[in-house]
Structure 1
Amino acid sequence: MSEKLYFNGDILTMENELYVEALLIKNDKIFKTGSKDELIKVASKEVEFIDLQGKTLMPSFIDSHSHFSGYATSLLQVSVEEATNFNDIIDSIQNFIKKNNIKSGEWISVKGYDHNNLTEKTHPTKEILDKAAPNNPVALQHQSGHNGVFNSKALDILNIKSETPNPSGGIIEKENGEPTGYVEENAYVNNIQKVPMPSMEDLSTALVKAQDKYASYGITTMQEGMIVPMLGDILDLLRVKNLLKLDLIGYIDLRDYEILVKRFNSCIKKYENHLKIGGYKIFLDGSPQSRTAWMLEPYKNGEANYMGYPIYEDNALTEKVTLAIKDDMQLLAHCNGDAACKQYINAYNDAIKNAHTKNDIRPVIIHAQLLRKDQLDDVKRLNMIPSFFVAHVYHWGDIHVENFGFERASSISLANSALKKGIKFTFHQDSPVIEPNMLETVWCSVNRITKKGIVLGQDERIEPLEALKAVTINAAYQYFEEDLKGSLKENKLADLIILNENPLKVDKMDIKSIKVLETIKEGKTIFKL
């Protein structure tokens, strides 16, 4: 039996008794908390004493929404996140081709451009990508993950032509009747899935590296935010070869649920080699920084009365939500705009009546960026869980001010308003959109400062303790795992992290500078600085 007794530091439990003097773990679980002398009495002679030397021990972080395989794949892509203009994008792609000896005809996947950060202030076109790689099909992904650009060769392969209609919930941009290469929402999602995946050998290496990155941020439970059929082989690789050392909870695309439920039947709502299917996933709108989030009021500084657009008609959505309730499968719905949030709230309210069951699936509102204060009472009544992408305040807050005006932008991620209503909420990073940096997210929620240094939504700031709950005990609740994870309590899994400083005691502006020194999954160290 492996036993470890931690002492001489801030042991932060996230329970009502916030601090304890010592913690004893045996094998994969927390055996007891209390005073050091008490725990010595119940420990064996072989117990390992671990002196924290004033550092902080607390529950590990739980990722409430990301795309793990997407993050892994992004490690194999050309990154243009630092690009400031079209020429930077061209140079990055050409350097990648030379460095990696890319052959003519091979697909090139590029990630991370943001038109908001480019001097041109618009999306690149197929001509820009043709200049970068005239002999290769190129897929360029926007940082939001909701839109992108294909070059001429890619458009030909994907059969996107002048006569190709816009799919429901998506747009193929055209100029003088010809595709420009820019596509958004379903037009992007449907076609990016046709781009060939990297080799299984390269993917295997990237998946292991990605897992190590999550662990370095103190995360021991990750999410596969939308499982589509093309991810089946990747997840089987992880499961069959037992490559996972962190827990991975996946959510099946409702459009292909029958095939995927059958394929992953052995791990529906239970772990198999650290992989579990947690429920279903659905998209209801786009992203606010790309102006595709579905709003109740128009965006500023653009086409008059433009409010984004929905993915589903109301009746179709209610049918899908009803299906999730009947199947007793948790539903994660991507909703950024307040109109999308309203549609989801109404659909869930109607579906409860249609399903004729008392199944509580704890439906999650993913992102909930522009969820309104007047919608919170319904969220509370229906036991819905907003999972806020609160780091948007820092990463895109200045863009939101341009798109919505200061007052509306100040109301993104209503964490404090939700807290006052007694609503359980979580935080996430939607990786690979941004790094799965939990401490940066905690910092964002506590300070709410944009890149330009503007305080955006001062009244929605929360205290560090509540922010930590959003990425520990509340996130465990979101996953129906509150009895296993999220706090330091007897019989819970020994999923722990050691930090160099206590987030509750440092200056609030210094929270994002705290370092994860060690990450422990079920009693075993999986990362150490």
Structure 2
Amino acid sequence: MARSVYFGGTILTMEEPLYAQALVEEDGVIRYVGQLETALELAGPQARKVDMEGRCLMPAFLDPHSHFMACANSLLQVQLGECADQEEICQRLGDFVQREHLQPGEWVRGTGYDQNDLAQGCPPDRWMLDRACPDHPVVIQHASGHVGVFNSRALELLGVDENTPCPQGGVMEKDHEGRLTGYMEENAFLSLLQKVPMPDLKDLMDALVRAQDRYASYGIATVQEGMVMDAMLPLYQAMLAQKLLKLDVVAYADPRDCKKIMEQFGDRVGHYKDHVKIGGDKIFLDGSPQGRTAWMRQPYEGEEDYRGYPVLTDEQVYGRLKSALERNVQILAHCNGDQAAEQYLSVMERLERETGRRLRRPVMIHAQLVGRDQLPRLKALGMIPSFFVAHVYHWGEVHVKNFGLERAEHISPAGTAATLGIPFTFHQDAPVIQPNMLETVWCAVNRRTKTGRLLGEEERISTLEALKAVTVYAAYQYFEEDRKGSLAVGKAADFVILGQDPLTADPMALRDIPVLETIKDGRTIWPG
């Protein structure tokens, strides 16, 4: 039996009492939390003694929503997030072809552009991408993941032309001559993106190891696969066969495309096996607020009637929710706009009325513009909002432009939710942004945009409440409150060691606190 005693610093339990002098870990499980003298006596003279030298030990963070495989895949793509104009996007794509010595016909994928940051206010069209990479099929993906552009060769390989029907809940843009520009939104874009060939398996396996290290470097020990489909199954099988996983992965399946997943991973529904658990189902109800595809009750600023649009009809949503209810699995719904929130709430209320049964801890993912008037109904349904609160910093000024100041001040209304006693979580939707939990905590506490504007003072929350959103509440979202999220006897020894106690730090300095070590089941997983 290997025992370790942690002492000599701050031990932040996220329980009552909030602090302890020492902690004893044995075989990946917490055996004692409390006084140092008792811990040393319990651990015995042979125990490993870890003097934290004034640093802070607290529960490892749990990622309530991201796309683990996409994070790995993004490491093999051209990064476009800092491009200032269309020409720089094209230049980076062309440079990538030369640097990687791609052969004619090999796919080029770019990710992370944001039209709000481009001089032209829109991405390059298919013909610009053709000129940048004349011998290659190309796709570039918006930072939100919901829209993007294909070049002519890509459209040809995917069998798409001007006569191709546009899927429900999507847009295939055409110019004044009726030609496809290559730009597509939501279902039109995502359905084609799924058909783009995956990179080489070895390259993907290497990228998956790097992606795990990236999560762990931010203090995260549990991650999410926010939309797993049958096409991803060989990658997971290879990862498990090679024993590459060191983080826990909670996967949510597309209910339309998970037959093979359930055949091969059905024994993982609701519990872990080799670090992988099937958490339930995932559906999309609308798009992205910064991409102007989120579905709103009122028009976008400057528009007469445009409010975004839905992905599914009410009956389709009802069918998805009823299926999850009948199988007794959790459901996550991507929901940004307040009209999408209204659809989710009203359909779930109808389902409860008609069946007399309730879904288990349903989650509203992003909940960017959920109305404060809608939150009491959300609480009544036992629904958990998982806020993408870092939008305040990364796209806050864009939201002011798109929705006006009054609506923008209440994006990710964590303050209102806290007042109502609603448990909520925070996420980064990685790879949309880096899975930087302390930056997200900083965003929730300070609510500052990139210009320094305070956006929604009444929605600010305390540092302690923000930390709960990525520890105890996140564990609750995953039905793992008995194993993770706080430091208590019998729970998993999943820790993060920080350079400073965040509860005593200057709130404006929270994002600067260094993550020094991440520990999973008693073993250090970062640094490696």
> Do they fold alike, i.e. is TM over 0.5?
yes
Between the aligned partners of 1:299 and 1:128, the Cα distance in structure 2 is 29
Tell me what 1:140 maps to: 140
Tell me what 1:429 maps to: 428
Between the aligned partners of 2:449 and 2:353, the Cα distance in structure 1 is 42
The aligned amino acid for 2:276 is L
Between the aligned partners of 2:391 and 2:188, the Cα distance in structure 1 is 24
The aligned amino acid for 1:79 is Q
The aligned amino acid for 2:274 is N
The DSSP-based 3-state class of the residue aligned with 1:497 is strand
Per-residue deviation, 1:257: 3.7
Tell me what 2:5 maps to: 5
The DSSP-based 3-state class of the residue aligned with 2:373 is helix
Deviations 1:51-100 (A, max 9, x none): 11111000000000000000000000011111000110111011111111
Per-residue deviation, 1:28: 0.6
Change (3 A) 1:446 1:202: same
Tell me what 1:90 maps to: 90
Per-residue deviation, 1:355: 4.1
Per-residue deviation, 1:165: 1.9
Tell me what 1:268 maps to: 269
Say if 1:326 and 1:357, in contact at 8 Å, map to a contact too. no
Deviations 1:356-389 (A, max 9, x none): 545x410000000001110011111110000000
Tell me what 1:278 maps to: 279
Between the aligned partners of 2:10 and 2:16, the Cα distance in structure 1 is 15
The DSSP-based 3-state class of the residue aligned with 1:212 is helix
The 5-angstrom pairing of residues 91-490 of structure 1 reads: 91-175=91-175, 176-302=177-303, 304-357=304-357, 360-490=359-489
Between the aligned partners of 1:255 and 1:356, the Cα distance in structure 2 is 26
**Structure 2, unaligned runs of 5 or more:** none
Deviations 1:277-330 (A, max 9, x none): 00000000000000000000000124x200000011111111110110110110
More displaced stretch, 239-248 vs 79-88: 239-248
The aligned amino acid for 2:298 is E
Say if 1:326 and 1:355, in contact at 8 Å, map to a contact too. no
The DSSP-based 3-state class of the residue aligned with 2:245 is coil
Per-residue deviation, 1:171: 0.5
Say if 1:325 and 1:351, in contact at 8 Å, map to a contact too. no
The aligned amino acid for 2:88 is D
Between the aligned partners of 2:363 and 2:369, the Cα distance in structure 1 is 15
Per-residue deviation, 1:528: 2.9
Say if 1:14 and 1:487, in contact at 8 Å, map to a contact too. yes
The aligned amino acid for 2:204 is L
Between the aligned partners of 1:10 and 1:261, the Cα distance in structure 2 is 44
The aligned amino acid for 1:409 is A
Between the aligned partners of 2:377 and 2:281, the Cα distance in structure 1 is 22
The aligned amino acid for 2:497 is I
The DSSP-based 3-state class of the residue aligned with 1:255 is coil
Per-residue deviation, 1:259: 3.8
The aligned amino acid for 1:392 is H
The aligned amino acid for 2:323 is L
Between the aligned partners of 1:89 and 1:258, the Cα distance in structure 2 is 38
Say if 2:230 and 2:258, in contact at 8 Å, map to a contact too. no
Per-residue deviation, 1:241: 2.5
Between the aligned partners of 1:258 and 1:248, the Cα distance in structure 2 is 19
Say if 1:60 and 1:496, in contact at 8 Å, map to a contact too. yes
The 5-angstrom pairing of residues 8-19 of structure 1 reads: 8-19=8-19
The DSSP-based 3-state class of the residue aligned with 1:520 is strand
TM-score by structure 2 length? 0.98
Between the aligned partners of 1:377 and 1:172, the Cα distance in structure 2 is 37
Say if 1:322 and 1:352, in contact at 8 Å, map to a contact too. no
Say if 1:6 and 1:50, in contact at 8 Å, map to a contact too. yes
Tell me what 2:61 maps to: 61
The DSSP-based 3-state class of the residue aligned with 1:374 is coil
Deviations 1:434-482 (A, max 9, x none): 0000000000000000011111111100000000000000000000000
Between the aligned partners of 1:412 and 1:166, the Cα distance in structure 2 is 31
Per-residue deviation, 1:262: 2.0
The aligned amino acid for 2:495 is L
The aligned amino acid for 1:212 is D
Between the aligned partners of 1:198 and 1:354, the Cα distance in structure 2 is 46
Tell me what 1:20 maps to: 20
The aligned amino acid for 1:82 is E
The question of 1:509 aligning with 2:508 is answered yes
Deviations 1:235-267 (A, max 9, x none): 212223321101000000022244432231121
The aligned amino acid for 1:408 is R
Say if 2:230 and 2:259, in contact at 8 Å, map to a contact too. no
Say if 1:322 and 1:355, in contact at 8 Å, map to a contact too. no
Per-residue deviation, 1:16: 1.9
Per-residue deviation, 1:2: 1.3
Between the aligned partners of 1:505 and 1:357, the Cα distance in structure 2 is 44
| Identity, % of aligned positions | 50
User: What is the RMSD computed on CA atoms of the aligned residues?
Assistant: 1.1
Say if 1:319 and 1:351, in contact at 8 Å, map to a contact too. no
The aligned amino acid for 1:499 is L
Between the aligned partners of 2:499 and 2:102, the Cα distance in structure 1 is 43
Between the aligned partners of 2:271 and 2:238, the Cα distance in structure 1 is 18
The aligned amino acid for 2:46 is E
Between the aligned partners of 2:236 and 2:420, the Cα distance in structure 1 is 38
